Structure 1
Amino acid sequence: MLSAGRTLQRRYQIESLLASGGMGNVYLAVHTRLRKKVAVKELLRVTDTLEKQRQFEEQFNQEAQLLAGLDHRNLATVTDYFEEAGHHYLVMEFVEGRTLSQVVGLAPRPISERRVLIWANELLEVLEYLHTRTPPVIVRDLKPDNIMLSSTDRHLRLIDFGIAKRLDPNKGTQPIVKGMGTEAYAPLEQYGGATTDGRSDLYSLGGTLYFLLSGREPVPAWKRGSKGASLPPLSQWNQSVTEQTWRGILKLMELHPNNRPANVSQARNLFNLRDL
């Protein structure tokens, strides 16, 4: 773990640890020449096998290249990536604010449907942008912990593409870092070797909206598929949720991808977004 005061590449001075996970750490740093705050993501040594570690490092570099080629107001911008002392680093825009998980946790009452639909509209816009790249980019781990609400412009930012992939019909799917996502938000096709596509992100969007409106994580897809568990109605916790929004979330969270909207445009039509 990097200590406060450590300087990387003679310009990124570490201030504090922001987050830590199985694949790496994220630090708050300051660009010493520009006096600008940045987020520095460090890939940890996650395996004792040299070959596998090299694969992780290659995937980490692919994530950096993928993000560096994207430009959207709802994506945290990548500005640099490098290797130093045998470790790999990714430098990103530092987003001041809170994750949507934190926003929900701090809310004194359930968040209104109108507010959640405003966020849903932003998330649909950025998913449409990603899914229409050539080749398409699939997030595969969309969840409240990976979405920041900026305190400066009040817009959302996706901040983690750790298991994103390019969907190339000529080469098959190419994961940036292998993984199946987070249980409550991962569709069935992300368990095992089934193909994932844009509809997988739409399932995760539905799970995210469910959490934002209820404060509770949805029942995981595998429990619904194997044990017959169902999603409790959102009206139990949030009286502002209309029948249209509830039906839309259920459609996004259909277990079989063929029963979900085929694309973002179809998903947008499930909700009343016209008057936002």
Structure 2
Amino acid sequence: MVTKTIAFWNVGGMSDSSGKLAVFTAWRNAHTPDILFLEEAGKNLTVGNLVGAGQNSMTAEMADKNGGASTKNLAVIFPNNLGLEATAKRMWSQRAVANNRLNSGISAGSPQRRDILYLVGKIQGQKHHIYGMHANASYSGGNTAFDCAEQELENNTREAAIVGGDFNSVKDSDSNRVRKILPLDYNGDELPFTQWAKTGKRAQFMGPGLTNATNLQDYNEYLESIRLPPNYVPHANWLYEVQPHGLIDFVLSNAVTDAADLIALPNCTDSDEWFNVLKEFDHCPVLYELTVD
């Protein structure tokens, strides 16, 4: 039996010099994922500096939602000893655009595509396909990305396959061959959101010591909304108020993968690590465990 952990994280332009890198490095050292997909990696992030002994990596330029040049990359870091091969490819779906356009009364037109990084290889003698996706689109385009992934998984009926990343969609699969696996928070509960905004308004409560907490009940309601414990005293000031958005980072798997046992793991070790992620990023990592007999 082999067990491997797989993480997906939209790191929002993280570069060699950004404050995000220290938080990312601490998180990675704590969780040590075997396979790590990065979405929206800054072009001045030296991915090679993140590659450890016995690891390999691949980076590919992301296209923007109109297919043009982007300022960010997709990257994957993976172990050498699994015999995985990495490549960049496009995931296509004629059905995706047909569904979206027919709902709007528009003819189907050409197929939609999404750029992905793709790992393929045998784990315990079983062939596995692992895709890292970034929708890089509006919510409508995110639904198209979801449909692209769903169709790719439905078409692969013989080999285990998963697609993970930032879908920018809250859709659920209506296929009996595809399963959506939601991520978990540091308590092991399902996350209510994986993306958030930081408003231009400074947070009402800045801590430490809750010195600006004019109303403890309001403060605790705010903490609950962003999955921090009651009376939490942050070790650093809140810079801006956090506004939770959608649960748009997750994994889809086909029925063959389900037989190999794919489960979500807590995405952070504790509330302090979660606070650091909230403070520096606008998406959180999602973490999964794949067990193959």
* Shared fold, TM over 0.5: no
More strand by share: 2
TM-score (norm 2): 0.27
